[in-house]
Structure formats: structure tokens, C-alpha cells
A and B are shown apart, each in its own frame.
Chain A
Amino acid sequence: MRSPRIRELRHAVTLLAAATLTLTACGSGGDGGDGGGTGGGKVTLTYRLWDDQQKVGYDKVMAAFEKANPNIDVKIELLPYDEYWTKLTADAVAGTAPDVFWMTPSQFPEYVTKGVLADMSPLKLDTTKFHPTVVGSFTYQDKLYGVPKDWGIVGLLYNKDLFKKAGVEMPASLTWKPDGSGTFLETARKLTVDEAGKHPEDPGFDPAKVKTYGFASWNHYQTQWMNWVNSNGGKLLDKPFGKYTFNDDASVQALRFGVDLVNKYHVSPPATQTNPPTGKVTDMFKAGEVAMFPANNALLPYVAPEANFEVGVALMPEGPAGRAVNLNGLSEAVYAKSQHPQEAMKLAAYLGTEEPQKLMAADGYIFPALNGLTQGYVDYWQKTKKLDVSPFVEESKGTTFPLPVTTGFTGFETKLNQIFNEMYLGKLDPKQAADQAVTEGNATVK
């Protein structure tokens, strides 16, 4: 039905847009990952990442790969995180994405449903050798679209000095229930002190003048409420690439508990100080104003060296449905339209093997996705910072859950945060907030 003129116009627009995006890409410094020259039978692959600390490790990894594959050169491109995604999208449109690059679970649906990522089936990977949550995060219609690279997991960082000062022992296991019973809230209360030295349950306690908070409960889905929801038997999504369901009774109970920690039990700083994007929970923990702080192990390099107190790592609290912790995986994705598909697949396959993953762990960068290699990371932190990070490992062997993998999340994220900001401020009831968020979220699922 479409007239030829419009078809022509459409092609013109696509070309123009691609041209502009490529121009813009050139303007920002890179050469757009053109797949490299083929002179002398040598193939140049572009490998893109966003972490400048990990790049140091990957320089070594790539040197080893190039030595074993003399006909392949790997060029590492480092981009800041925000720019990384803008440029990746632009490059994918222009058909010049890097051959191999990092992928996160929350961006994965967008790229995989639009055919940017290569199917890994030809590699015949034994997926049982990798952490199942990471494999699940990068599986679409029963096929794996990325070699599992590493994972990060949420654990409970705590300030050992504050515990000592309050004369409180960290219980072997922290437990919570929606009604406020359990060792977790009890411990948080003991550690919360106002300027007059009173605890939240004492008469005359002034919640407006708290000196130290026992816990940091705030609007952060990955380290906070999604963990409450799962450990209370709530469900974030009905199935991968499905619909949001976190307005069921168990989820709402869990959300209410998270908010109550702030507004009812007063063991957490007010949302006016913690809500994103201006929140500064990490700074409060580093300043010794918060005793317990759930965080992904990836945050350790930014917290441990700067804290002037002894940092401890504990297991996340157990809810009525047990302990369920977010485990966020990364994968090495191969561009579906790579100029050198064979070499790119070869590199991705290599990155999933023991040698490189072991190296990245031993240098303290990450927990490898390949099973059985966590000890290197644990040793690194024990040796360099005298920090026992083994609770992260123990958690990873129990129940873990991925971020809700579905399309449209990047667009939904801002709205979700806005709605839940209101909830943490106490201006929106958790049930209403969850209903609103689920409705908004499901409207973005494609």
C-alpha cells in the first residue's frame, strides 16, 4: 500500500540518520568499531567495556588471547557507563557496533529482541558450568545470547566500630518478618541512637535528631526492596520477558516493611536524604552515620579504602520465605552483524574459560561466572584489605534472583523510581505505589 515515494523517503531517512549518528560517533573520539583492517591476513576485533579498573585486567587477558591467536588483534575500547549505552545503540543503528562487548540484564531485552546480539548456540557451551542466575539473565527463547562473564551480589556491609561501641554482636543470622519481629529489626534498633543517646523504643526518642541509624532502607531496587519482596515470597515478574507482578499481597507487605523501617521504626534515614537521584546513602555509611548498609560487592572498592572504620560483610536478612538475594550477572555479547563472526565468537568463548576468569578474580575485580573460581576474589580482599567477603559467596549458593528481565525496563526505570520515591517519603501507600508502578511498567513491556 505504501507508495514508492514514501519508501524512498524512508530509506533516505534511515541513511541520513545512520550517517549523522556515525558522524556523531566519530566526533566523540572512537572510530566506531569498524571491524578493523584485514591487511596481512590479520583480523582486528574491537572489545568494548566501561570499567576502567577492569580494563587493567583485560589488557592482560587480551595479551594472552593474542599470543594464542597470532592472527587476531584485539583493540579495547573504554567508554564511561552512560556514554557506553548511547554509543552502543548508535553503533548498532549504523551497523558498526563493536565485535564483542559487555551486556547487563536490564539492557539485554532491548538489544536481544532487536537482533543485535549473536546466538551463542554454535559454541555449544556447557551452561551448567556457570552460575544459573547469570545464564538465566541472558537467555531469550531458550537460547543463550552471551557468554557469562561475572556476577555481583548484594550483601550486608556493616560498620564493626559502631557495633562495638553499642556493645552489639552481629547475630549469626538476621531474620525479619512483616510484623516487625525477628533479630534484624532488633539489632537495627539497638544501633539507632539520637543525640540524647536514646533508642527508637525509648520514651522521648527524637526521630528528627538521630545521630546514627542502625540501617539504611532506601529507594534502590537492586539492593533493597526487590530483596525484601523475594524473601517474603513476592514475585517481581510472572516469567522472564513477562509482566510485572510486584503488587501481590506478599510483595506489598515487603514494600511496607521497607518503608516502615524509615517512617515507623525510625531505624533508617528519612527518604528526603536518601531518595535518588540526590540520595547519599553510601556517603552516610562512609561517614559512620549508618551501621548496616546492603550493597553489591562491586561497591567494595569505593567503600572499603575510604572508610576510617572496620568494614564487615554479613549475610542479608532472612525473610519468611528464606533468604533471596539479587545476583546481577554480566555477559560477553557478540555483535550479530560482526564483520568477523568467527574470530569474535572465538574471543567470546575464550573469555568464558577458566584462565581469563581466574585472572579477573585473583586481581579482585569480580566474582567469575564460571563455577568454582570465587576463592581468588575472596583471597584478594582478605590479603589486601583484611576483609572477609565469603558471605557473598555463601549467598550465591542459596536462592538468588536476577533483576526483572523484560523489555522496556530502561524507560520504566525513571517512572518506577519516581513512584517509589513518593512511597518512601510516606506520601503514597505501598499498595497504591505498587499498583501504579505495575500498571506503568506493564504498559512499557512490548
Chain B
Amino acid sequence: MRWRRDWHAYLFIGPSLLGVLAFLLLPMVIVFVLSFFHWELLSPPTFAGLDNYRRLAGDGESWHSLWITVVYVLLCIPLQTVLALVLALLLNQRIKGVRVFRSLFVVPWMATPIVMGLVWNWIFDPRDGAINSALAVIGVTGPDWLSDATWALPAVALVNVWQYTGYNMLFFLAGLQGIPQELYDAAATDGATPRQRFWRVTLPLLNPTMFFVMVTNLIGAFQVFDTVFVMTNGGPSKSTEVINFKIFGTAFREFDFGYASTLSMLLFAVILGVTLVQVRFFGKRTTYDMS
């Protein structure tokens, strides 16, 4: 019955559905299956049972990579989210040239990660780079950034914050503009201070936006790869060897596709867990429908 009525719809989603199946769901299923196999790519896979998972349990390097990734996420997400929100609040005002600013802040998001990484490599150069030259002016000797095991990860995180803040700002801006002015007027009438208005009106009403931004950003941050690839190659001394970089190396440099699949499953499980926690956290809070 429904098929008869809706077949046009299926026809229209057909091509993209095919794409999702072939390039997203199918590879995911394959990765899951492969995680139970030994496969060095050019020779046929052999069934490994739980070998790869046992190996993972005792593989300190991979857990270290996961830990590095968590630290990276913690460095990126809070900073990026707060900055994006502050920017959105500022750009939600009626000031001159606001459109130009809005566009400018989104530019980093459009930059190719590889090109961006190369440019930042110059900026982080310990001797001639912009950052250390600026620090030298105020009499501070900057660290060796990308050659320093303490600073390399924060440096990479900073680049990603720079890249995604403007993009997230767009979502917050859209969220802010969806909040009816009457609510602010009412709050002002009741004598609410600007601070109270932010915490009691703006933030609660931004809940759906916040949920979207947090979920997508956390997923993205856990999957960081390109900036690490260009800027540090996982070094110095594995201090930036995030889990996705480890997966890439295991698969395409060591040709160990079985174990790389197992590592992918680990990352998948972590992301799934973190996302479920967020769904519960945001689900418990009230969402106001303003439509």
C-alpha cells in the first residue's frame, strides 16, 4: 500500500541511499567482520577469533593513543565551544560590518587542512615563526612547539580550535536568532540583569543547538587526523599519536588491516559511548519549542 503511494520518494532517495549503503554501512560492516581476522592485504584473510582483541588488551601503545586522543578532545572542545558562543553573542549585535566579520570567522573552516597545516608549521617555527617572534617582543622565549613533547599536542589542538570556532559560531548564531525578543523584554521587565538573562534565557533556549554542536564536534575531535599527519606525524616521541593516526599507520604502513579494524572498533565504541552520555544529558533537560 505504502509502496504504491510513496514509490516516488524512494526513487528520489535511492541514489543517496545507495551511496550510504556502499560507502558507509557496507565498509562499517566489513571493518567489524575484519576485526576478527588476520589480514595483511595482499594475502587472503585468515580467521583470528578474538586474537586482535586480546592483542589490543595488552597493547600499551594503542591505549596511550586513545589517552592522547582524550586529552586532545579535552583541549579542543571546551575552548572551541566557549569561544564560538562568545563570538556568536558578539556578532548577534547590530554593529557595523557584522556581515563581513561573520564571513571572516568562517574562512578557516573552508581552508584545506593540508594547506592550513603547512601554514601553521611556519607560524610555529621556533626561530622565525610568528608566535615565537611575537613572544620575543615581550621578552618571553617560546617553546619549540612541534618538537616539544609537552607543547606539540596543544599546538595541534590550537589549530583545530582556530579552524572550527567560526564554523560553530554560525550554529550558535542561528540558535540565538531563533530566540524571540519578547522573552528578553519580559526578563528585562522583571528586572533581570544581563548576566541573569544569559544564564536563564539564552543558554536554556540554546539547548538544541548546544546538543548538535557538542555531538558533532566531539565525534569530529575524536577522529582528528589530517592536522596531525601534516604537522607532527605523531611525534615527537608519540606525543601526538592520536588513535586515528595509529589506525592509519597500522593499516596503510604496516598493512595489518585486521588489527587496524579492531582499533577502529575501539574508537567506534568510545565515540558511541560518549555520544550516548550526551544524548542522556541533553535529553534530561527541557527543550523549549519556539516554533
B27 touching A20 by the CB < 8 A rule? yes
Whether a CB of chain B sits under 8 angstroms from the CB of A271 is yes
Contact with B along A388-423 (1 / 0, CB 8 A): 000000000000000000001011011001100110
Whether a CB of chain B sits under 8 angstroms from the CB of A2 is yes
Stretch at the interface among A86-94, A306-314, A356-364: A86-94
Instruction: Give chain A interface residues in 273-312, CB to chain B under 8 Å.
Output: 273, 275-278, 280
- Contact residues in A for B256 (Cβ distance below 8 Å): 411
Whether a CB of chain B sits under 8 angstroms from the CB of A371 is no
- Contact residues in A for B45 (Cβ distance below 8 Å): 10, 13-14, 17
Query: In the complex, which residue of chain B has the Cβ closest to the Cβ of A19?
Result: B26
With beta carbons under 8 angstroms apart, the residue of B46, B231, B235, B237 that contacts A10 is B46
Contact with B along A249-278 (1 / 0, CB 8 A): 000000000000000000000111101111
Also in contact, A417 and B233, with CB within 8 A (given A273-B125, A411-B249, A411-B253): yes
A24 to B30, CA, bound (A): 14
A265 to B89, CA, bound (A): 55
What does DSSP make chain A's interface, helix, strand, loop or mixed?
helix
A17 to B242, CA, bound (A): 26
With beta carbons under 8 angstroms apart, the residue of B39, B147, B231, B234 that contacts A271 is B147
Whether a CB of chain A sits under 8 angstroms from the CB of B277 is no
- Contact residues in B for A20 (Cβ distance below 8 Å): 22, 26-27, 30
B235 touching A421 by the CB < 8 A rule? yes
Also in contact, A414 and B26, with CB within 8 A (given A10-B46, A89-B42, A110-B255): no
Interface residue range, chain B: 35 or more
A413 to B233, CA, bound (A): 11
Whether a CB of chain A sits under 8 angstroms from the CB of B185 is no
A6 touching B233 by the CB < 8 A rule? no
B235 touching A272 by the CB < 8 A rule? no
A92 to B273, CA, bound (A): 37
A92 to B42, CA, bound (A): 7
B254 touching A86 by the CB < 8 A rule? no
A311 to B117, CA, bound (A): 30
- Contact residues in B for A414 (Cβ distance below 8 Å): 233-234, 249, 253
Closest Cβ–Cβ distance, residue B174 to chain A (whole Å): 33
A92 to B40, CA, bound (A): 12
Contact with B along A16-55 (1 / 0, CB 8 A): 1100100110010000000000000000000000000000
Please list 24 pairs of residues, one from A and one from B, whose beta carbons are closer than 8 Å in the complex, sorted by A's number: A9-B47, A10-B45, A10-B46, A13-B45, A14-B45, A16-B26, A17-B34, A20-B27, A23-B23, A89-B42, A92-B42, A93-B42, A114-B43, A116-B42, A270-B126, A278-B121, A410-B253, A411-B255, A411-B256, A413-B253, A414-B249, A422-B236, A425-B236, A444-B254
Known A13-B30, A114-B40, A272-B127; further 6 A-B contacts with Cβ < 8 A? A20-B30, A23-B23, A270-B126, A271-B147, A278-B231, A418-B236
Chain B residues with CB under 8 Å of chain A are 22-23, 26-27, 30, 33-34, 37, 39-47, 121, 124-127, 144, 146-147, 230-238, 249, 252-256
